[in-house]
Chain A
């Protein structure tokens, strides 16, 4: 099964313009900052937001096609949507919530309740059948919402920020439950999240959506080690440089010159691990390496690795031990020399 979507729609200040293809053998995570249009993308696929222009189809079933004015109602799409707030009906019991989709599709009450019960057992909520959703914890309500969708055997499963409404203690457990159900579900799986960890743990493939546009897609490892946008680099904890490579060096967009060791030529991106940035109070010598004069913009103590934010022609983050930070007497506004070996700069074509 394949979902092919060409999405062009405008909603308030957000213009969503992206092409998406999702195969049923991989779980795809749409990753991006808040306000990038991720939820809107799911709502478009579910039929809750109309396209201005474009086409959405799953295996020949056309959900929407603006040139021919084809539009399938949300109820006819058979797309399971697990909303960020889970959307359990407050006036129905957990069992009636899970049976709702079956009843809506004409299954008789007895059969619907029996199948709903079966699914409540699968998600470990058999004891809550007669409870109201208000009595469930965040993780339980997420599982109930998941069961409510899966019991209808949808063509596609859409999860919007599946771990957002769950407290930290329940996340690990819920992530495992989600992974189990995702792996046994045979339809299309599309997850939306702003958390790279969530994307990495639940999805095989990542589509990065920023400001309504896809900035990068691929396997999670590829995307996080070779980021193509500042946001994804920051999420991966990497310094990202953009410029053009010629013999022996890279000319950055701000005019800085950085020594690199690579075969790549032309427009390129480069990443530097924060721990590969060494800090000194006085300029050291020796080559081949880059010595960059910087001022300290901020010090973020994080356990036994402190992240030092450096201001300069291009911003840089260094990671040092607390002892080193003390020895260097790092303080906001202070001056340091950042040293990066050419071999520590990972260069790849733009």
Chain B
């Protein structure tokens, strides 16, 4: 293939392409250069980092769980059922993908804040969402769940409902068809969607800090902690350590999903 004339690179394109690679790589290199490798282990196991990490994992896993419970049924209906206004619903679901997260946080505040009708009702049951761990999880779910819905819907669309028909002629009622046929066949796309949703939830900052604030141990997740130590307390070393941790997790997600997502581009 290297002899293929049409595949010989245009020199003129190589310069901006090289700039593009540097554009992505330089900040990451800068981050790595400024890591205080000597103090890194002790910083990583320090109380603040571990608390933020635990909180991040907690919130993001709750966000994924919530997204799975409400997102998979929605994806199924969007892919299979003929429901009115499907295009509008799909547009609505994908909106958080392009919406600035801070807008999402403010929107959540106006819908679920303590003084809102829903917030008042929840207050009666002793549930307060804003500036709570649950609120942070909800903010993360709001931003992450479109990834799940879109991925699962695409997975379901790849197949028609032939196997559901087969199951029906074998005597399986609708719920059994859904649990034994539809869901297992969609499992790969559900797993991929959940992973993307989780990665997005883990890195969520804008909506979380707007809706849940930054209280260490309650709502200060890794990205929020990185920001506050960078901006507020001027602990740039700690900010870099937290950033490195998030970078490592991102790379891990990428490696896990490599075959599924990058494989298609190869």
B171: chain A residues at CB < 8 Å are 75, 78, 101, 104-105, 152
Say whether, besides A87-B163, A104-B176, A74 and B169 are in contact (CB < 8 Å).
Answer: yes
Most buried by B among A79, A80, A87, A152: A87
| CB of A337 closer than 8 Å to a CB of B | no
A75: chain B residues at CB < 8 Å are 168-173
| CB of A270 closer than 8 Å to a CB of B | no
A83: chain B residues at CB < 8 Å are 162, 166
Chain B stretch 155-181: residues in CB contact (< 8 A) with chain A: 162-163, 165-173, 176, 180-181
Chain A stretch 92-119: residues in CB contact (< 8 A) with chain B: 100-101, 104-105
Quote the shortest CB–CB distance from B47 to chain A (angstroms): 46
User: What is the CA–CA distance of A149 and B168 in the complex, to the nearest angstrom?
Assistant: 12
Quote the shortest CB–CB distance from B183 to chain A (angstroms): 10
Most buried by A among B165, B166, B170: B170
Q: Select one of B169, B180, B187 contacting A81, CB under 8 A.
A: B169
| CB of B185 closer than 8 Å to a CB of A | yes
Kindly report which residue of chain B lies nearest to residue A102, judged by CB atoms.
B171
| CB of B100 closer than 8 Å to a CB of A | no
A47: chain B residues at CB < 8 Å are 168-169
Q: Select one of A81, A90, A149 contacting B185, CB under 8 A.
A: A90
| CB of B184 closer than 8 Å to a CB of A | yes
Say whether, besides A89-B181, A91-B185, A48 and B165 are in contact (CB < 8 Å).
Answer: yes
How many residues from A make CB contacts under 8 Å with B? 24
Most buried by B among A81, A104, A149: A104
Q: A137-152 vs B: 1/0 string, CB under 8 Å?
A: 0000000000011001
Quote the shortest CB–CB distance from B181 to chain A (angstroms): 7
Contact in complex: B170, A149 (CB < 8 Å)? yes
Contact in complex: B168, A152 (CB < 8 Å)? no
Contact in complex: B169, A89 (CB < 8 Å)? no
How many residues from B make CB contacts under 8 Å with A? 17
User: What is the CA–CA distance of A105 and B172 in the complex, to the nearest angstrom?
Assistant: 7
Contact in complex: B170, A152 (CB < 8 Å)? yes
Contact in complex: A74, B173 (CB < 8 Å)? no
Q: Select one of B163, B170, B187 contacting A101, CB under 8 A.
A: B170
User: What is the CA–CA distance of A47 and B181 in the complex, to the nearest angstrom?
Assistant: 19
Kindly report which residue of chain A lies nearest to residue B173, judged by CB atoms.
A75
User: What is the CA–CA distance of A101 and B181 in the complex, to the nearest angstrom?
Assistant: 13
Contact in complex: A100, B172 (CB < 8 Å)? yes
Kindly report which residue of chain B lies nearest to residue A88, judged by CB atoms.
B166
User: What is the CA–CA distance of A77 and B169 in the complex, to the nearest angstrom?
Assistant: 8
Chain A stretch 58-80: residues in CB contact (< 8 A) with chain B: 73-75, 77-80
Quote the shortest CB–CB distance from B75 to chain A (angstroms): 18
Contact in complex: A89, B163 (CB < 8 Å)? yes
| CB of A308 closer than 8 Å to a CB of B | no
Contact in complex: B185, A46 (CB < 8 Å)? no
A101: chain B residues at CB < 8 Å are 170-172
Quote the shortest CB–CB distance from B167 to chain A (angstroms): 7
Contact in complex: A148, B169 (CB < 8 Å)? no
B162: chain A residues at CB < 8 Å are 83, 85, 87
A78: chain B residues at CB < 8 Å are 171
Quote the shortest CB–CB distance from A86 to chain B (angstroms): 9
Say whether, besides A89-B181, A91-B184, A104 and B172 are in contact (CB < 8 Å).
Answer: yes
B163: chain A residues at CB < 8 Å are 87, 89
A74: chain B residues at CB < 8 Å are 165, 168-169
User: What is the CA–CA distance of A73 and B173 in the complex, to the nearest angstrom?
Assistant: 9
B180: chain A residues at CB < 8 Å are 100
Q: Select one of B168, B170, B184, B185 contacting A73, CB under 8 A.
A: B168
User: What is the CA–CA distance of A101 and B162 in the complex, to the nearest angstrom?
Assistant: 16
Contact in complex: B170, A104 (CB < 8 Å)? yes
User: What is the CA–CA distance of A74 and B185 in the complex, to the nearest angstrom?
Assistant: 21
B176: chain A residues at CB < 8 Å are 104
Chain B stretch 191-241: residues in CB contact (< 8 A) with chain A: none
Q: B128-166 vs A: 1/0 string, CB under 8 Å?
A: 000000000000000000000000000000000011011
User: What is the CA–CA distance of A237 and B180 in the complex, to the nearest angstrom?
Assistant: 48
B181: chain A residues at CB < 8 Å are 89
Most buried by A among B167, B181, B184: B167
The 9 closest A-B pairs by CB, nearest first: A101-B170, A87-B166, A104-B172, A74-B168, A104-B171, A81-B169, A91-B184, A105-B171, A75-B171
What are 27 sample pairs from A and B whose C-beta atoms fall under 8 A apart?
Answer: A46-B169, A48-B168, A48-B169, A73-B173, A74-B169, A75-B168, A75-B169, A75-B171, A75-B173, A77-B169, A78-B171, A79-B169, A80-B169, A83-B162, A87-B165, A89-B166, A89-B167, A89-B181, A90-B185, A91-B184, A100-B167, A100-B180, A101-B172, A104-B170, A104-B171, A104-B176, A105-B171
15 further contact pairs, Cβ within 8 A, besides A46-B169, A83-B162, A90-B185: A48-B165, A74-B165, A74-B168, A75-B172, A79-B169, A80-B169, A87-B163, A89-B185, A91-B184, A100-B167, A100-B170, A104-B167, A104-B176, A148-B170, A149-B170
